Structure 1
Amino acid sequence: MKKLHLLFALISSVFSVTAQNKIDQDREAIKSLAGFYKVTFNYAETFSPEDDYKFHERHRSSAKEIAILVEDSPRKIVIQHLLVMRGDSMIIKHWREDWTYEDQTILAYDKDNAWKKVTLSANDVKGKWTQKVFQVDDSPRYQAIGTWVHVDGRHQWQSNTDSPLPRRESTERNDYNVLNRGNNLYLTANGWMFEQDNKKIVRADGRDKLIAMEKGMEEFIKTDSKSFGYAQTWWKQQEAFWKDARASWDAVFAETSYLKLNLKVENKLLYEQFFALGDRSTKEKWSSEKNKENIKKVIQTYLVKAS
């Protein structure tokens, strides 16, 4: 009997070490997404069930981007992306990704700029990481759950989730209102690839209608950090404001089970308000309390009250 107990203890120890090694591999893969990159964006519609559907033009673009590791804890990793334009003289705060481990609460996109809070079981998220993607103003975009796989030298994470229209189409199209994203993220020899198999959907009256499918390839290629000097300085000046912005949004998320935002208030987009606040905060050296007070006021004006 004593030998049996020792055997069980040994097996348990092996599984524990293996699980910890897996988490460490996951964390290293996620943290490797940070860095200095040239990014290429390529999207093309590939199929439609409608015979008379007119395929839209392919989208191709490129940019320089810095992805900054702003939080690194055992079960949460936060990476902030900045677009670097006009050499290194113009910076635009871009998207943010929060990676959380075995997170049972997510905001699932519904439709028409609205998200609903969903609670998952422990089994649903066991061993999995949630990638929570936020807009340039730190409002939600989409949240997706998947398992990192490390095999044969390949490090890969896959998921499927709904999201708003991509920015490249949100101001040009109104023929669909949900993008169902098939996300495949994997590391490469010189950076990482974000491959997508997307479905463009009309969601109405509890039903989804597919209008087109799309292939997307976003390639992040490592580049020299020397051309990102101003970007790093800019972020050091702005990071306190955006830390307060994240905290302010977290308070909103905690208080609501269904979040819906107006696209515009007084003909201004939400990100325009946030960018202006960030610049003023930096220039006038606002305190954290003043940041949060002003941010809360802006968020409240865009929130759609439940009827």
Structure 2
Amino acid sequence: MRQLSIFSLLILAFSMHGNAQSKKKQDAEAIKKMCGCYEVTFNFAETFNYSEDSLYKPSKTKRDKGLEWAQLVEDDKNKIAIQHILQVGDSSKPHIVKHWRQDWLYENTDFYMFNGDNTWKYVSKPKSEVKEQWTQKVYQVDDSPRYEGTATWVHVDGKSYWENITDAPLPRREYTKRSDYNVTVRGNRHEITKNGWVHDQDNAKVIREDGKSDVILAKEKGYNTYVQVDDSRCKAAATWWKENQGKWALVRAKWSDVYNRNQNLALEPKVENKQLYKYLFSDDYNKADDINKVIESFVKK
């Protein structure tokens, strides 16, 4: 009877491991479905405001469109990296813009959590808290940190989605116009659809000050749709990436060195009155030594 019991336990353990591996594979397939060429619509509207200022003006509703190439950069056992590249303007001679990047890490335990004013707190979580979860790490156009969060991919009723709430910097459409809040608490939902995917957001605009409770200034709805089109429409963006991927691999390598220090991170907004992306987007920064030096100059000691 004892031998049968042990045998049964072994079969159960093997079955559970197999199910976990099958689920992990299903998760990875869902993530990689975000790659390809997409017609993107960006929609943001402020929904509620809680300001005590009678002169408060909400952000204008934003609607925008673009063509975006999502390039698979890494596809390893526990990591999937996708680089987004915007293709705008005349289709015969489009303008290419290196956009955001998203890395997906399986059962990741190391986090850089945004805390306002260009600072990120390093947090190490126990493995038990991230079991079978995927961390989405989102990076700026210069591959500096933006925000990250961990959650479980859900596959149910024909749907595949991942959702998480995390602190983030102000979006680009806001930080050049607004200074009355300093943290966006982002409610992110990524859902795979039959013709692409959707980034559904419920965000809070938050005022954060040391020693005080957070104050919600307003709330915002974001709904971005990615409708997949033939890859040929993003040929210019895909070609640009092939020609420039070596440089950006050097940039990612330097940032990995910074992140692997596993300590709180604070970045200068500008060095010599110039933002980091303006340095890195320049053709003057193609060599590892130059890239390493300029990135390090933005890291506060």
For 1:231, the equivalent position in structure 2 comes to: 237
In the alignment, which of 107, 111, 128 is matched to residue 106 of structure 1? 111
Cα deviation, 1:261-296, whole Å, max 9, x if unaligned, reads 1212222111010100xx346xxxx6xxxx221111
For 1:292, the equivalent position in structure 2 comes to: 288
For 1:75, the equivalent position in structure 2 comes to: 78
Name stretches of at least 5 consecutive residues in structure 2 with no aligned partner.
none
- Equivalents in 1 of 2:68, 2:216: separation in Å? 33
Helix, strand or coil for the counterpart of 1:132?
Answer: strand
> Cα offset for 1:167?
0.5
For 1:163, the equivalent position in structure 2 comes to: 168
| 1:29 and 2:34 matched | no
| 1:84 and 2:87 matched | yes
Name stretches of at least 5 consecutive residues in structure 1 with no aligned partner.
none
| 1:266 and 2:267 matched | no
| 1:138 and 2:143 matched | yes
> Cα offset for 1:303?
2.0
Q: Which moved more, 1:58-67 or 1:296-305?
A: 296-305
> Cα offset for 1:81?
0.4
> Cα offset for 1:215?
0.6
Q: TM-score, normalised by structure 2?
A: 0.95
Equivalent pair of 2:188/2:201 in contact (CA under 8 Å): yes
The one-letter code sitting in structure 1 at the alignment partner of 2:80 is I
- Equivalents in 2 of 1:226, 1:274: separation in Å? 28
Q: Which moved more, 1:192-201 or 1:231-240?
A: 231-240
The residue correspondences of 1:201-280 to structure 2 (distance < 5 A) are 201-206=206-211, 207-255=213-261, 257-276=263-282, 279-280=283-284
| 1:123 and 2:118 matched | no
Helix, strand or coil for the counterpart of 2:260?
Answer: helix
| 1:148 and 2:144 matched | no
Helix, strand or coil for the counterpart of 2:101?
Answer: strand
Q: TM-score, normalised by structure 1?
A: 0.93
For 1:187, the equivalent position in structure 2 comes to: 192
Equivalent pair of 2:147/2:167 in contact (CA under 8 Å): yes
- Equivalents in 1 of 2:297, 2:7: separation in Å? 62
* Count of matched residue positions in the alignment of Structure 1 and Structure 2: 295
- Equivalents in 1 of 2:262, 2:15: separation in Å? 42
- Equivalents in 2 of 1:229, 1:56: separation in Å? 35
For 2:179, the equivalent position in structure 1 comes to: 174
Aligned CA-pair RMSD: 1.3
